[in-house]
Every structure is written in structure tokens, then in C-alpha cells.
Structure 1
Amino acid sequence: MESSQYGNSQNIEIHHIITSKRTENGRTEMAKAWIVDEWLRDDAPASARRLLNAAKYPERVACRIPERYRKARFGRGKRWRVQWFENGGRKTGRSFAAKKDAEKMVSAISDDQYSGRYINEADRNRTFRDVCGEYMAGKHGVKHSTLRGYERYLRMYALPMWGGRAVGSITRAEVSKWVGELRDGTAPHDFKGEREPRGQLSENYVKNVFKATKMVVNYAKANRLILDNPFDGVELPRDNKPDDSMVFLDYAQVERLAGACLPGDDLLVRMLAYTGLRPSEMMALHVSDLDFAGRRINVVRNFTEDKSGRQVEGTPKTWEVRQVAIPAFLVDDLRAHCHGRDADWYVFTSRKGKRLNLSNWRRRNFSNAAKRAKLDDIPGLRPYSLRHTYASLAIAAGCDVKTLQNAMGHKNATETLNTYAMLWPDRLDEVADALAENRAATLSARHCTPNADFIE
């Protein structure tokens, strides 16, 4: 149900309000709204009220109303005031020039009492910036790197657009228009301290900005600051083209890339391509995380960023630890690589023996190796592409969805399917042929033909 609007000469919009009052025992109970005559005292006779009510120009009959029946505000401002108690016991009100409009207001409040559509006016009028700050301050269960991403989207796009707006005044039509402006690159923005995007924003980038902003408004709705979320039901842009951000190498390309790497990096490339770990997880591996006898990697940490953007150790992306198999052909090389290293130190380090920084390694080592391997002409090739490569090679080798989910560390199988569904081969003919074979074998075992009648 949408907000009601009651027509009068001032086009006053009636918002969803419920009334309450505190009883002596401290409980909150419903209290009806009431109308107060701001001009006449309670003991004014009916004749005086009728005279004033019937006058088109009240000031012309004011002289006929005795002073003892007049209030201090007589003749000034709007005559009728609706009053009620908001949540918390604060009395509030709204003034009207015509009594019929005040009565409509009282009816609207009464309706909201029964429908449960309770929104404090003060809450609804809180600014998006205020609600955003409160929401972000309470995000204690989110990784710092994820939080920094949210803050960036909100600072660059959401706050310039909605920061000063009352959270309850944002409409779905405005949100839809904003999404279009984001896509076209014409939305209000603040790129201070940030690299300015070139051209149109991508579909995924718009979705990320939209998601971060919607979470703030979801918070407002969950805390009864607004009744409905104007971001619900807004259509997001679709590029209608395949996702070219995922690159899949074949075995020969993986080996070419590894062969073009500096000593030590060749093993790192193969481990990324043949185990499926995230680069941040691989670089955070300790020697003690490797079980050579069982050919397992215990993925218990990764590299992430703290509030200031510094690289620190944290838990895996989905907060879940997991075990990943080490291909047999890598075990000996990996054991030799770790020989003499302290169990609590990193498996892969820089030439100086320090922990790797993914950005630096990509720029200084990976990119140069890709050029030497003549793979730098592949658009979007990056260290994370080796994780996608593992998924494609595993699926081609017959890996099922659940096994791949566990290996990749996805939160659920749906995420795995949404990401890699196009890699599973079309097996319709294979399934149909298997059904035919099983049917024939079953009928043959029963010594019957397809058209035979079965008699009990």
C-alpha cells in the first residue's frame, strides 16, 4: 500500500504514522490523534464557533468574537492542528487551514493504527548520509577489504546523489533514472582521490554501486525508518554479451606461461592453474599448510587488506577453511621448493625472502612472463585467470558441481553454477543413449519385448 495523499488547496501529503502513549506502568498503548482549535478556547460557545466556521474571511468577523474566548494565536496562522504521540512518547502535530483536512489526517492515523504502517516522521526525514554512516559503523562481520569497496562505491556515487536527501523521500522512479545515469556516466559523482572511470560504467560496476547503496536503504527499512525500499524492483542494465573477464588457458598455454617465468614463479603458476586457489590464498600459504603425504593443501588463510589498505593475513573469502588436492606431478617439485624453509613461513616469497604482494607480483613478474610466452595478446589475462583455468580443466576432466564447489571454496553450488555453467558439456545425447541402453538391458533380463502384455 502506497502513501496516502489527501487533496486540499495545499496538496498536503499524509505519511504513515501510528500513535502511542505511555501508561503509568510504562507500557506503550495506542492513543488516538486529536484536533486542537488554535484560535478559540475550549469554553467558547457554539455560536462563536459557527460564526467563525462560516466566515469566508475570518478577520472580518473577528470583532464579533469576545476576547475572553480567543487564544493567543487567534487570527494568526492555520487554525486547526492535529496532534499525536510518536514512538518514544514525543508529541508532535501538523496544522491545517481547513478542519476537513485535519479530519482526514486523523482518519489516516487511525487507519495506520490498524494496518501497522508505523513510521516516525523524524525517522523518515533522516538523511541518507546519516543512515549510511550508521549502517557502515555497524558492519562488524565484513572483511576490511570488502568494507573498503563498499565505502568507495558509496563515497564516489551514492553520497553525491542521495547524501542530503531524506531517506524517506527517495522514489523508485528516481532510483531507476539514477541507474541509467550511472550506466551512461552522467550520474553525480565525487572522484576525489580516485581514478576517474573512462567512458560508460560496466554492467558489473553499476550493479556493485547499486548493491552497496541498496544495502543502506535495506538497513533503513529493517529499522523502520522507511516503509518500503525504493530500490526493490528496479531493473538493472544488461550488456547482452558474454563475460569476457574470465580467461581460460589450456594445458599448453599454462606450461608456456610457467616456462617463461623466473625460478620459483614457474611453480607458483602451475600451483595456481592446477589447484584452483585464489592468488591471495596461494601467496598466504605457510609451509605447515601442506600435507605432502596426503597430497592436500589446508586453506586456512589469505591475504586481505585492513582499514588503511595494508596487506594483512585474514581468513579465506567465504570464512570457511577447506582442503584442496595437490596433483601428484607437483608434489616432488613443491617438496623441494619448501626444503629448508621454516614451517611457519610462506611457501612462495620474493627474491629477498619476504612475503609476496599480489599487485607487485602481477606487475613485475606475471605480466613480463606473459609477454615472454607471447600470451600478452589475450585480453583480461591476469593471475586470477589461472583459477578460472583450473575450473575449466577440472570440468573437462569430469568434475561434478559439488566437488568443484568445495575445491574452489564457493559459498554454495549455486555460485559455482552461476560462474561456470557454460563450461559443462552438453550431455543430452549421452544421457538419452544411456537411458536406451539401460532400458534394453532391463527388458532383455525379463525376457520380454516392449509391446508384450504383462499379466498379473
Structure 2
Amino acid sequence: MAVDDWWYLAKRSADGARVPSERHGRGKRWRVRWIDNHGHARERLFDRKADDDRFDANIHADLSRGQYVDDRAGRITVAELAELWRNAQLHIDSTAIRVEHAVRLHVVPVLGRHRIKDVRPSHIQGWVRDRSGVLAPTTLRVVYAYLGGMFALAVRDRMISASPCDDRVRLPSIVRGSRFIPAAEQVHGLAATLPDRLAATVYLAAGCGLRLEEILGLEVDDIDFDARELHVRRQLKVLKGRQPFLGPVKTRTSVRTVELSDVAAESLREHLDGGIGTVEVDDDTDPRRPIRRDAALLFRE
């Protein structure tokens, strides 16, 4: 790194006096030159030498600590950062669609045009206040987590030095309501309102704790009546523009074996008495090896 006085040449006259340069008296006088962490030559001009020296010292310290941030990288907009962040995620299809929807509707319209280097915690707080008028507190926290992830990526990639989504940003509190747990009679009553071919779904949800998508992804081989077990290996997924297909469950821990309750087992036996055929379906349970196969799904509708 070097500090130059642009108003005078480095060499002196024969009598030792300083020699004015062609820039003398015009524009900023002091220049800092340095090589950034990518090997590129950089420079910045200042009016005052004190500012020049301070900047030079800070740049030197940041480069030494490995904390140098190229302010040019921070000129990308929040909308551009959002696209970079989304492309870096390993979301499954349905999650990716929800994320794209949230970013497109709630992040880009409000913050999208801002350069990321210009976004401050006060801007984020203003965004929270604006979105709290249209989003429930729980949903707002989810979208805020997406926004925080975007700026965390920017910090990690040395686009900015700190995230504006810090712990001083206040989010709306969540009022937890009481949970409704139906009595056995209510579960039986709900099952009775459904067609016979779907009644067992109620008992799988109430007695085994399965999500609807997991229930609809069950095949005959997933049921082990002797061991009183049920294996959750996949789920049925529905995406816009595509026929329903089998895919991986929501998270790795969602692949599990659960106890088959007595009432669920009895309901499934009755359900299977009529016989279960197969249906041809796309199976993307292993995204690296999608196949089309015949599946003995317990429920078709």
C-alpha cells in the first residue's frame, strides 16, 4: 500500500523544492493505493491527508486480518442478492416454490432496489413494520429468516462487513393459542364423515402423527401389522404444472418408523380388505435417480 500526494511530483527540483504536478490545485489531493484480496490494484482519493492516512491504516488492518470487504461488491441490489441466495440453497421443490413466492412478494417490492451496502438495520426495521400489516407474525418471522440468510451470504462472501439483520431488529411477538386435541369420539365422528376409501387417513393422522402428504405417500409394503409398525419413507407431492408424484419427505428426520396404533391398524385392515391395485406414478424419492414405476398406494384420492 502507498499514500501519494497528487499535487506534487515525487522528485524534487535541483534546489530541493517540491515540483507541482499537472493536477496541482485541482481535485482531491491525496491517494491511497493498495492490492485487494483478489490481487487487483485499487485506489481511493481524499481531500485531507488525515482521512487518507486513516483509510490506509484501516485497509492495511482489514487485509492483515482477512476481513477486507470490497465496497464495489456491495453495490449489487437486494433483488440481485436474493437471486444469488436462492440459487445457492438446497431446498426441495415445494420449499423452493414457497421461498420464491415469499421473496418475490415480500422482499423485492420493498427492498429490492437498495444496494446491499446501503441497507441499515433501520431499513430492515421499516420493512418489518411494513410487512407486519400483511403477514401473520409467524409467517413474517419465516420471511425475515430468509432475508437474514441473504445478508449472511453477503457477509460470508465479503460483499459487506456486517448484516443489517442484527439482534436489535424487533419482530412482532407471537401469541400462542391453546392447542385443540380431539377426543376419541370426535376422531371417530370425523372419520365417519369421509368416504370409506379415505376414513383410515383420519386414524393415521390422529393415531400415528403422520402429515397428510406422508399418508398419501404410503404403500402397502410400508405397513407391518406383525411388528405393529408403519414406515414413513416418502410423501405425495403436488406442484403446479405437474401431475402428483412421490418425493422425499420434508426433512431427513422425517424418514422414520412409528408405532401402529390399535385403532389405525384396525382401520387399515378394513381398508385393505377390498384389495389394493397399483398405479403408475413418477417417483422422485431419490432426486438423483427419478423413475416412473407402479406403486401400491394405500390412498389414490
Match of 2:296 in 1: 345
Rounded to whole Å, the distance in 2 between the matches of 1:324 and 1:94 is: 64
Distance in 2 between residues matched to 1:319 and 1:304, nearest whole Å: 16
Q: What is the deviation of 1:113?
A: 4.1
Paired AA for residue 276 in structure 2: R
Question: 1:347: Cα distance to partner?
Answer: 0.3
2:9 aligned with 1:41? yes
8 Å Cα contact 2:46/2:52 also seen in 1: yes
Q: Please give the secondary structure, in 1, of the residue aligned with 2:33.
A: strand
Separation in 2, partners of 1:309, 1:90: 48
Question: What residue is the counterpart of 2:79 in the other structure?
Answer: 129
Q: CA RMSD in A?
A: 2.4
What is the TM-score when the length of structure 2 is the normalising length?
0.84
Q: Which structure 1 residue ranges, 5 or more long, are not aligned?
A: 1-32, 50-68, 186-199, 351-456
Deviation at 1:310, TM superposition (A): 5.6
Give the Cα separation in 2 of the matches to 1:345 and 1:172.
Answer: 53
1:264 aligned counterpart, secondary structure: helix
Q: Which residue of 1 aligns with 2:292?
A: none
1: CA distance between counterparts of 2:56 and 2:62? Answer: 10
TM-score normalised by length of structure 1:
0.57
Find the counterpart in structure 1 of residue 92 from structure 2. Answer: 143
Give the letter for the 2:114 counterpart. R
The correspondence of residues 200-211 of structure 1 with structure 2, limited to 5 A, is 200-211=134-145
Does residue 80 (structure 1) correspond to residue 48 (structure 2)? The answer is no
Q: 1:337 to 1:155 in 2, by over 3 A?
A: same
Return the alpha-carbon distance in structure 1 between the equivalents of residues 109 and 23 of structure 2: 42
For the Cα contact (< 8 Å) 1:81–1:96, is it kept in 2? yes
Deviation at 1:146, TM superposition (A): 1.1
Deviation of 1:267 (Å): 2.1
Question: Residue deviations 1:113-155, cap 9 Å, x none?
Answer: 455431112223332222221221122x321111111111111
Kindly state the Cα deviation for residue 72 of structure 1 after the two structures are TM-superposed: 4.1
Partner of 1:154: 103
More strand per residue: 1 or 2? 2
Query: 2 CA distance for matches of 1:152 and 1:310?
Result: 21
Q: Is the 8 A contact 2:223 2:230 kept in 1?
A: yes
Aligned to 1:235: 170
- Distance in 1, Cα, partners of 2:124 & 2:163: 10
Q: How many angstroms does 1:308 deviate by?
A: 5.6
Equivalences for residues 330-369 of structure 1 within 5 A: 330-339=264-273, 340-342=275-277, 344-350=295-301
Determine the C-alpha separation between the residues in 2 that align with 1:330 and 1:132.
45
Q: 1:311 to 1:218 in 2, by over 3 A?
A: farther
Give the AA of the match of 1:130. E
Structure 2 unpaired stretches of 5+: 279-294
Identity of aligned residues (%): 26
Is the contact made by 1:148 and 1:307 (CA closer than 8 Å) also made in structure 2?
A: no
Report the CA distance shift for 1:119/1:281 in structure 2 as closer, same or farther (over 3 A).
Answer: same
Distance in 1 between residues matched to 2:86 and 2:234, nearest whole Å = 25
Partner of 2:220: 287
1:44, distance to aligned residue in structure 2 (A): 3.6
In the aligned structure 2, how far is the partner of 1:309 from the partner of 1:92?
51
Residue among 253, 258, 275 paired with 2:208:
275
Give the match for residue 58 of structure 2. 108
1:215 to 149, 155, 172: 149
Measured at CA, do residues 255 and 332 of structure 1 come closer, stay the same or move farther in structure 2, by a change above 3 Å?
A: closer
- Rg larger in 1 or in 2? 1
Deviation of residue 285 (structure 1)? 0.7
Output the CA distance in 2 between the equivalents of 1:309 and 1:227. Answer: 43
Indicate how the Cα distance of structure 1 residues 227 and 309 shifts in structure 2: closer, same or farther if over 3 A, else same: farther
